[in-house]
Amino acid sequence: MGELDSAFIQDIEHRPNLKSTEPVNDGIPTIDLSALTLADTHKLASEIGLACQEWGFFQIINHGVPLDLQRKVEKVAREFFELPSEEKRKVRRNEVNPLGYYESEHTKNVRDWKELFDFLVKDKIMIPASPETDDKELRTITNQWPQYPPEFREVFQEYAKEVEKLAFKLLELIALSLGLPENRFSGYFNGQTTSIRINYYPPCPFPHLALGVGRHKDAGVLTILAQDDVAGLQVKRKSDGEWITVKPTPNAYIVNVGDVFQVWSNEKYQSVEHRVVVNTVKERLSIPFFVQPGPHVMVKPVVELLNGENRPKYKEYNWGKFFVNRSRSDFKKLKVENIQIEHLKTVNQEK
């Protein structure tokens, strides 16, 4: 079997307990969006709000994304990852353009056991040239699309439009759940940095040492995750800190709150740590849709949710600068911990 490259080896306290990776739907709510066609939108918003508060995660069914399109997307994604390495590397991303294929990403400075492909929902966007506060320069990043499979771009662009519609529907429901107007968050998505990632996890001979993705929280607003029938996603349960392996529900999406919503809601809804375990037998495919604001957006607690007893828990920060800073660690180990929203806590909230 050989030895595992040390770059993949997790510290002992972060290695998975393979005895407890049996998938369960232990409490993670499943929400039926077909109720949207009925009158009771506020009841649905309430269910979603409770899920955001108690878990930070929920599954949705009857979400409106066509099943045949979901199948097409999975087929095309698998065909891409089956290509020879030299073909995939023709669209390999780098530190100048963080879009495209990549096979050596790091999470928390440990290499992930996976390959991936990233692209933007909008074909190109302007982002800050650097994370430095006083640097006002902007640069354009543009999707790069593989030549094979030939339908890759068309299928994924169609998919992006469908999931984007779903994302805005969820944003409206979450706004209502917070007692806000349903369109309260829509203005933050002009020039949005929303992206899609395709994760491919090959079988791993050392699943007790490595992770497909190490423990992390998502930096954006929401994540809408499609996955195949192979379990791998683990969520850290808020009530007791246990890692729960999420059982895949056919045709469902898994939705989780990101750090931006944690700040917007002033911690009423908190992003939750999650990770991906791997196995020795089966490959796994997952496709997260990362809902992210425009680079100009200043992220801070929503003023309508604040009062004398509920003061802002975070300093205002620019999403574009934060986004650029966070993406640096995808390529190499950093000498310092990557920026987290915890670093932006207001003084009176620091422990």
Q: How do residues 125-147 score in pLDDT, each as one tens digit?
A: 989 888 888 888 989 999 999 99
Name the DSSP letter for residue 270: -
What is the C-alpha to C-alpha distance for residues 162 and 69, in angstroms, rounded to an integer?
A: 9
pLDDT at 336: 44
pLDDT at 335: 46
pLDDT tens digit string along 188-204? 999 999 999 999 999 99
Determine the average pLDDT of the residues in 14-40.
76
Question: For residue 180, what are the β-bridge partners?
Answer: none
Of 48-62, 236-250, 279-293, give the lowest mean pLDDT range: 236-250
Q: Does 41 have pLDDT greater than 50?
A: yes
What is the C-alpha to C-alpha distance for residues 267 and 291, in angstroms, rounded to an integer?
A: 18
Determine the average pLDDT of the residues in 283-310.
95
**Cα 119 from chain centroid (whole Å):** 13
- 254 and 290 Cβ atoms separated by less than 8 Å: no
Q: Does 66 have pLDDT greater than 80?
A: yes
Of 11-15, 19-23, 340-344, give the lowest mean pLDDT range: 19-23
| Residue 350: both structure tokens together | 């620091």
Please give the angle made by the CA atoms of 88, 218 and 305, to the nearest 5 degrees: 150
pLDDT at 130: 86
Q: What is the pTM of this model?
A: 0.94
Element (H, E) at 251: none
pLDDT at 325: 84
Report the 10 Å Cβ neighbour count for 310. 12
pLDDT at 334: 46
Determine the average pLDDT of the residues in 102-127.
93
